[in-house]
Chain A
Amino acid sequence: MPILTLNVNGKAVSREVDPATLLVTFLREDLRLTGTHVGCDTGQCGACTIHVNGVAVKSCSMLAHQAAGASVTTIEGLAAPDGSMHPMQAAFNQCHGLQCGYCTPGMVMSAVDLVKNHKCETEAQIREGLEGNFCRCTGYQNIVKAVQQAAPATKAMA
């Protein structure tokens, strides 16, 4: 099997990986980074969202080998090395932006990308920016609130 070399959450990784393996499967099964979730089979739900080279990607819609040489960040790598939460994680906690937690990793990764790379000054822009991520529990309202709260600190980190 071909060898895949990439950087995941700041660490160099080199593994033999079947060419047909999806990036999400590689992360969950090979690296046991189970924080990234699978919620559908059509690329709609966004539960598997991660960052590839700083940009949000649905990891179910990309082959592992397509990430060769890339820098991948999953939810496990978002907090600071000392374990303190990223402002977006902290805001989700403070604003009750999660309930069952299943969509949460993908939602948080999307939200960080939204704040860093896209326009999200209004509530409408935030809602539009998050429309690729389903949440069945929260009704989205407290997620929007969390994004609004975390936006200044998240931008400042960029």
Chain B
Amino acid sequence: MNARQGFVGQSVVRREDARFLTGRGQYTDDITLPGQTYGVFVRSPHAHARIKKIDTRAAEKAAGFVGVLTGEHFKAVGGLPCGWLINNPDGTSMKEPRHPVLADGKVRYVGDRVALVVAETQAQAEAAAALVEVDYDVLPSVVDASKAAGAAALVHDDAPCNKCYTWTIGDAPGVDAALAAAAHVTTLSFVNNRLIPNAIEPRAANAQYDVPGDSYTLYVANQNPHVERLLMCAFVLGIPEHKMRVVAPDVGGGFGSKIYLYGEETALVFASKVFKRPIKWTATRSEAFLSDAHGRDHHTTAKLALDKDGRFLALKVDTTANLGAYLSTFASAIPTILYATLLAGQYTTPKIACTVNAMFTNTSPVDAYRGAGRPEATFVVERIVEAAAHELKMDPAELRRRNFIKTFPYATPVGLTYDTGDYNATLSRAIELADVAGYAARKAASAAKGLKRGIGYACYIEACGIAPSAVAGALGARAGLFEAGEVRVHPTGKVTVYTGSHSHGQGHETTFAQVVADRLGIPLEDIDIQHGDTGKILFGMGTYGSRSLAVGGTAIVKALDKVIAKGKKIAAHLMEASDADVVFENGVFKVAGTDKSVPFASVSLTAYVPHNFPHDKLEPGLNENAFYDPSNFTYPAGSYICEVEIDPATGAVRIDRFTACDDFGNVINPMIVEGQVHGGLVQGIGQALLENCVYDDASGQLLSGSYMDYAMPRADDIPHLQVETVKGTPCTHNPLGVKGCGEAGAIGAPAAVMNAVCDALGKQTVPMPATPFNVWKALNA
């Protein structure tokens, strides 16, 4: 680290902001290519139906019509792949029904893709699409995972009882024995409500086929362009990977929903060759509601065994997870590997067992959404711990403290080894910041006004920096989970860094530059960070699971180490010293113990103008790349405290204060980290109080399909948040000591808010989201 510059740890304002603030961002829909055409998808109006006939004759006569494709055209190509294999307890594999690019014989959810209509203008494409006549034979549907096993509807013929898999982890007999013998058992059943991600930029793609080169360029709103390219080329369309360039330009938020390979962009790429024209498609918000991969949707029953002193003995969890109609790219891993492995939370619970039944339903596919399994796990653990505290009439903070893991590394009974942490530190600081000492007085003041006040804690842990590839592979991952970085030093000492981590709001162009500036001792202005283009970046696994800095940042650090190592050799040659005597400090190579020195830019110039150069030992140039595969996950953790005030007459919940205290290890840019926490918290508060994806049980129609029906958090729904990142416990196994901060808020907030609501009402059975109606019903039950 460079002591003189010290960009690391500073709230450097973002370098990427200027283009966004002046309207010069370049999002996918902003790109219009020569000869541009426009695509519109005909979507299923039914939750489940057989397609009897598709008649495109009228559409073909429409003004500006270019072409139409239906499922027939995709029979010869692959289905959209699922990237994670989950096995049943008997060793058989999960069911993987074909996930067609366009519906093939059947539609399985409202919004399922039936046809792609291409025309000269957007309006003409919409008009032509409206003329496509589809004759359906409507079938019974099921949308509720808890009813899927016994439903009349069979989503896929090759998945009996609509089951994708049953998956188990942990010592079930041991857990049952502990439950039977325990002094106290707390039982809780709840639904973790289904959410729709709602990045404000809808999904979009623009596919172009180059005839002379027999090659493709795809612009797409995506979080991991290399993964998109690999999946589309190798598993679906059979396009040679080197003939496809995927560009994810400025992307307007992702939150998971833009990780996946979707049928829309796949159909566009295929069609761009058929029609020999570039085709652009941008989802309307209505389409986004219907067809983006949704999140959460768990039905869970949990039992916590405690001894007479409140020590946790065992945790048993049974979850039914809704996967939707098809397996999205990482769908199978979310309610299993990314969920049940976190059920130890921050506690020493010695025995944990979990069973997950994952079901197909006639709903949009469900996959990772900010937090991805970890919010669901935290909700289980933190709700049941809080419920146990209420049953035992113990202080919820004290009950948690009594069970905190205090020595590290700590191997949980569900497969993870936490490298470091200090859970007491974050809880104590949160209690201080939230003025828990003054709570009783505030509660009395609320009561005097006829209002019910409650307080709720959530002490979350997450596994980020996904992942050691070998571990992930052993658990069923069909991909590696490393990251790649390249540091290209130009002759003048300016630097371009290429990273496989895509930035869609996270501020990589600033944070990564801070790391590079300190390591190389050069000004921020001399550094450019490039991402999001398979034509420029050597490889990348992309941005999700709060992994960018921990994994992508480390890959850059490894490449920087190589640059410095080579630079030392060049400098040694220039100074006629031995390699071992050269040190690099503050952007200058020096011979230790002498006044000889060569600046960084002289070394880079020598590398590219190698007149006086150790050609016998080194190649010219100063350009290094590195791949980094982490040795463990990282484990960010923290404590959140929420205080609510509820009007019993209306059921309206007002968050009076929300306090977050997080340990993210080392922090490169505190301002950006705080912003990430704010955003995560508001998504978590949104889940707890506002947001709910609802399908009609009878018809399978999406009832929450617009911003008038799906309650997005608005500025005036949210209180001022008190956020602090403690000095913390640096990650022990990456050189930056960083853990990741992108999802924490969404992971910890729902449990904190619901615990506060339940505390206020004195009931543990309030459904999430705690809307006024749900709260009023719980109060008057």
Chain A: residues with CB nearer than 8 A to chain B?
20, 28-29, 32-42, 44-45, 47, 74-76, 78-79, 85, 89, 92-94, 96, 98-105, 108, 123-124, 126-128, 130-131, 133-144
Contact = CB atoms under 8 A, between A and B. Distances in A.
B610 to A, nearest CB: 41
Interface string B471-512: 000000000000000000000000000000000111100000
Interface stretch (B402-410, B705-713, B761-769): B705-713
Contacts of A40: 285, 706-707
A105 B27 CA distance: 13
A108 B20 CA distance: 11
Contact of A101 (B25, B198, B282, B718): B25
B21 A96 contact: no
Interface of B: 11, 13-14, 16-27, 29-30, 32, 123, 198-202, 250-253, 255, 282, 284-286, 504-507, 671-672, 674-675, 678-683, 706-708, 712-716, 718, 720-721, 745
A35 B250 CA distance: 12
Nearest to B253: A100
B720 A141 contact: yes
A45 B706 CA distance: 11
B14 A74 contact: no
A35 B24 contact: yes
A136 B198 contact: yes
Contacts of B14: 93, 96, 98
A35 B22 contact: yes
A96 B13 contact: yes
A93 B708 contact: no
Given A74-B23, A85-B18, 13 more contacts: A34-B30, A37-B27, A42-B706, A89-B21, A100-B200, A103-B200, A130-B714, A131-B715, A136-B253, A136-B255, A137-B253, A138-B678, A139-B682
A100 B720 contact: no
Given A42-B285, A92-B17, A47 B200 contact: yes
The prevalent SS among residues of B at the interface is loop
Contacts of B252: 37, 39, 100-103
Given A41-B286, A92-B17, A96-B14, A136 B23 contact: no
A34 B745 CA distance: 32
A81 B32 CA distance: 27
Contacts of A123: 720
A155 to B, nearest CB: 20
A136 B200 contact: yes
Contacts of B13: 93-94, 96
A156 B671 CA distance: 28
Contacts of A78: 22
Contact of A100 (B202, B251, B671, B682): B251
Contacts, number: 181
Given A41-B284, A134-B200, A101 B20 contact: yes
A44 B198 contact: no
15 contacts: A20-B123, A33-B23, A37-B200, A39-B200, A40-B706, A45-B200, A45-B285, A45-B707, A85-B18, A85-B22, A100-B252, A101-B21, A103-B252, A136-B712, A138-B678
B176 to A, nearest CB: 42
Interface centre among B22, B504, B683, B720 (most CB of A within 10 A): B22
Contacts of B680: 139
B21 A104 contact: yes
A94 B683 CA distance: 23
Contacts of B679: 99, 136-139
A79 B17 CA distance: 14
Contact of B23 (A96, A105, A142): A105
A17 B199 CA distance: 31
Contacts of B285: 39-42, 45
A98 B718 contact: no
A85 B21 contact: yes
Contacts of A39: 200-202, 252, 285
Contacts of B198: 134, 136
Contacts of A103: 200, 252
Nearest to A40: B285
A135 B200 contact: yes
A34 B23 contact: yes
Contacts of B745: 139
B626 to A, nearest CB: 27
A128 B201 contact: no
A127 B716 contact: yes
B536 to A, nearest CB: 21
Interface centre among A40, A131, A136 (most CB of B within 10 A): A136
Contacts of B16: 101
Contact of A99 (B11, B24, B507, B706): B507
Given A102-B253, A143-B715, A136 B683 contact: yes
Nearest to A108: B21
Given A42-B285, A101-B25, A131-B714, A140 B682 contact: yes
B18 A93 contact: yes
